[in-house]
Each structure stands twice: as structure tokens, then as C-alpha cells.
Amino acid sequence: MSLNSLIKTLIIGAVASSMFGCALTPTPAIKEVSGTKFDVAQLTGTWEGNFISSVTQRSGTIKLELNQVANREVGTILLQYQKKHPKVHAPKGHNVKKTGTYTKTKPLSVEFMAIEDGKISGTVTPYADPVFARKTVFSTYEGIVTGNRIEGTYTTRVGQNGNSFTGSWWAVRK
């Protein structure tokens, strides 16, 4: 694939993170995957893992499925996160546990995913995050593919010019 195709494409992240809001969206998808056939083949399959941010105390699970359909890579990403809120009510639609932790599953769309020489990078479709007063958040991720494991980091920015926070993520092929 050309460098232009690589640039046009997209995690995760995520899976990868932040990547990680609350309101449900339509079917999650990886909109475009870029890389050579060899590189993309490294990602084909089902991947499951976790993400965590020590800054926001968010953590959760990631599931990525990437398959080839009609000579085109297609996939989905599903994020489930937990957030501790002592003495604070969880946002509407969250499952509250006695520990003060709520869990929410959030399907996310990935705008762009690229893989080249075992390095993965991408962006998540911006979304309104109720934890940040429903402000739009923007997330990017990167990682290294080593056999059946991906490890990486992500950065999420609140609003166009807001604060950023980082976290780490990993996934293994099932």
C-alpha cells in the first residue's frame, strides 16, 4: 500500500483508552486499515486485552476483531471500562457496584489504523465522554506487535485544546 493509503487509515488502542467514553454508538468499526498484506496479516484475528490510565484511574478491557472480507480488512473494537468514584454517583446508564466502581461497555469506531514493520498506530473516532461533562475527546494510540501480543500507549485530549492524559494498553491474539 502507498504511504497515502497508510496516512488515510487507522487501535485499540485503545484500545485502546480513554479511547473510552460512555454513550452507545452504532455498530463499532475499524473504518480503514493500512499496511502491506504481510503487515496487516499480523493483525488478522481476535485480540483481547486491557488498558489503564493512572491519571484518570480508568481501566478496562479491549476486544479487537480484524478479518479480511473481499480483499479489504474490516474489524470492530469493543471497550469495557471501569472507573472508581468514591462518594460520587455513577453517570446514568452505568452499573454501580458496592465498591463505588461502575462498569460500562462502549463500542467505539476507529478512524484509522496503520501497521508497518510491526508498529501499529491510529486514531479513535471522537466521542462525547460523560466523565468529562460530555465534552468531545480525541484519542490516538500506538503499539508494537510481537508475535501474538501488542503493547502500546494511548493519549486522549479533552476538547480541541483541552488537557491530555496518557495510558497504556496491551492485547493478545486468541
| pLDDT tens-place string over residues 73-100 | 555 566 666 655 444 444 444 444 444 4
Burial (Cβ within 10 Å: 0-12, 13-18, ≥19) of residue 163: exposed
pTM of the complete model? 0.69
Q: Which regions of the chain are under pLDDT 70? A: 1-28, 68-106
Q: What is the fold of 3-173?
A: Lipocalin (2.40.128)
pLDDT tens digits along 32-47: 788 888 888 888 888 8
pLDDT of 150 reads: 95
Tell me the domain boundaries of the chain: 3-173
In angstroms, the CA 129 to CA 127 distance is 6
Q: Please tell me the predicted confidence (pLDDT) of residue 69.
A: 65
